[in-house]
Structure 1
Amino acid sequence: MAVFLFYGEDTYSQKEKLKFWQAEFEKKYGGNMNVTVFDGRYAAANEIFQACSSMPFLSDKRFTIVKDFLAKRFGEEEEPSEEKAIMADLIEKIPDFCILVFSESVSPDRRISLYKKIKKIGKLMEFSAMGGSKLLGWIQKIVEKKGGTIEKDALIFLSEFVTADLYKTENEIAKFVGYAKDRAINKDDIILLMDTQLTTNIFKLTDGIGQKNRKVALDTLHNLIDNGEELHGILYMIMRQFRIITMIKDLVEQRFSRDQITIKLKLHPFVVSNTISQVRNFSMEQLKRAYKLLIKIDTKLKSGGIKVLAGDNREFVLAMDRLVLDLC
Structure 2
Amino acid sequence: ELLLNMTGDDMENIRMELEKLVSFTMGRDVITDEDVEAICTVRVTNKIFDMVTAIVNRQTKKAMDLYEDLLTLKEPPMRILFLIARQFNQILQVKELMTKGMDKGAIASRIKVPPFVAGKMMPQAKTFTREQILSCVTQCVEAEEAVKTGRLNDRMAVELLITRKF
Question: TM-score scaled by structure 1?
Answer: 0.36
Whether 1:323 aligns to 2:161 is yes
CA separation in 2, counterparts of 1:231 and 1:214?
Answer: 17
Q: Greater relative contact order: 1 or 2 (C-alpha under 8 angstroms, separation 6 or more)?
A: 2
Is 1:259 the counterpart of 2:97? The answer is no
SS at 2:162 equivalent: helix
Counterpart Cα distance in 1 of 2:63 and 2:132: 16
Q: Which amino acid aligns with 1:284?
A: R
| SS in structure 1 of the partner of residue 164 of structure 2 | helix
Q: CA deviation at 1:301?
A: 2.2
Shift of 1:223: 1.7
Query: Within 5 A, what are the aligned runs for 1:192-207?
Result: 196-207=42-53
Matches within 5 A, 1:67-86: none
Q: Distance in 1 between matches of 2:128 and 2:71?
A: 25
Matches within 5 A, 1:172-187: 175=12
Q: Structure 1 CA distance, aligned partners of 2:114 and 2:93?
A: 14
2:66 matched to 1:220?
yes
> Are the counterparts in 1 of residues 52 and 87 from structure 2 also a CA contact under 8 Å?
yes
Q: Does 1:242 align with 2:103?
A: no
Q: Secondary structure at the match of 1:228?
A: coil
C-alpha distance in 1 between matches for 2:128 and 2:64: 18
> Which structure 2 residue ranges, 5 or more long, are not aligned?
1-11, 16-40
Deviation at residue 196 of structure 1 after TM alignment: 4.1
Whichever of the two has the greater Rg, that structure is 1
When you count helix as a share of all residues, which structure comes out higher? 2
Query: Following the alignment from structure 1 to structure 2, what is the Cα–Cα distance between the partners of residues 286 and 217?
Result: 19
Q: Which runs of 4+ in 1 moved over 6 A?
A: none
Q: Does 1:293 align with 2:139?
A: yes
Amino acid at match of 2:88: F
Task: Give structure 1 stretches of 5+ with no counterpart.
Answer: 1-174, 179-194, 307-314
Q: Any idea what SS the aligned residue of 1:212 has? A: coil
For residues 1-328 of structure 1, what are the structure 2 equivalents within 5 Å? 175=12, 196-306=42-152, 315-327=153-165
Counting matched residue pairs gives: 129
Cα-to-partner distance string for 1:104-155 (whole Å, 9 max, x where unaligned): xxxxxxxxxxxxxxxxxxxxxxxxxxxxxxxxxxxxxxxxxxxxxxxxxxxx
Distance 1:318 1:236 in 2: 14
- Measured after TM superposition, the shift of residue 249 of structure 1 is 0.8
Q: Counterparts of 1:281 and 1:224 in 2: how far apart (Å)?
A: 26
Deviation at 1:318, TM superposition (A): 2.4
Provide the identity percentage: 24
Q: Which one has a larger percent strand, Structure 1 or Structure 2?
A: 1
Per-residue deviation, residues 199-234 of structure 1 (Å, max 9, x unmatched) = 111011110111111111221122212321022211
Cα distance in structure 1, aligned partners of 2:124 and 2:135: 16
